[in-house]
Every structure is written in C-alpha cells, then in structure tokens.
C-alpha cells in the first residue's frame, strides 16, 4: 500500500496501482495550475470507512510514496476516466468498485460494464 501525503498530513493509503494512476492525473492537473476535489471512502478509518475529500491545489505540497521501487503499468482507459472526473465540477470520485478494478481484483471491464459505456470515450462508442 502506497501513501499520498498532502499538506504534511499523516497520509492516505492506496494500493500502489491506484496511487500510480492518481499520481499521473494529479501531476497533470497541478502542472496546469488547476485545483480539484478528490473524494474516496477511506477504509483504514474503521470497518465501514469514512468518506474523505481533499482539495488538491498547486500551492500545497503533495508526495506519493510507493511500497515497490517500480511504478505499476498505467492503463490508458483508467487514466481517461480519472482525468474526466478530475475535470468535472463534482471532482474526482474514486469509488470502491473503480479502485478494485484498477487493482485488478475484478475482471477487466466489470466496472465499465456497470456504468454503461464499457470504458470507451464518447467518440469511440
């Protein structure tokens, strides 16, 4: 489990594969000087978890600490979905089902199939 450390906080844990995808999206947004909201259920806070959200802003320090020395391979489809969400007014909602598929704990396409677009961008449908 990797850690996202934001503004000197204790840190928030994510699977390395999920964290690598978040890192790619976050670095792109912050490089463009764009802030956005990241929302997820933090299961480390208890059996049912708590809903967390942080406002990511270019002026605030962020660190990504990975357990393994090599970054996991990134999936373009997941990057597109996460980027689209990060660009929305609602912010980047990182649902448990989405996180599970990024971690490859469920068959590829399961999350996308339940969302009705099979993970394809509108121009590909």
48-70 pLDDT, tens per residue? 888 999 999 999 999 999 998 88
- Structure pTM? 0.79
Rounded Cα gap, residues 42 and 39, in angstroms = 9
- Section 22-28 average pLDDT: 95
- Sorted by where each begins, the domain ranges of the chain are 2-124
Q: What does the DSSP assignment read for 28-42?
A: HHHHTT--EEEEEEE
Structure tokens at 31: 């490089």
Q: Is 38 exposed, middle or buried (0-12, 13-18, 19+ CB in 10 A)?
A: buried
Instruction: Determine the longest span between alpha carbons in the chain, in angstroms.
Output: 43
Work out the mean pLDDT of the chain and round it to a whole number: 83
Res 111 pLDDT > 80 = no
- In whole angstroms, what is the distance from residue 63 CA to residue 3 CA? 8
């Amino acid at each position: 489990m990797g850690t996202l450390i934001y503004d000197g906080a204790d840190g928030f844990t994510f699977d390395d594969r999920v964290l690598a995808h978040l890192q790619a999206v976050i670095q792109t947004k912050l490089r463009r000087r764009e802030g956005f909201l990241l929302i997820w259920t933090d299961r480390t806070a208890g059996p049912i978890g708590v809903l967390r959200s942080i406002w990511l802003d270019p002026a605030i320090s962020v660190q990504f600490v990975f357990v393994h020395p090599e970054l996991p391979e990134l999936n373009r489809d997941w990057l597109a979905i996460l980027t689209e969400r990060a660009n929305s007014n609602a912010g980047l909602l990182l649902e448990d089902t989405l996180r599970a598929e990024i971690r490859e704990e469920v068959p590829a396409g399961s999350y996308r199939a339940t969302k009705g677009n099979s993970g394809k961008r509108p121009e590909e449908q």
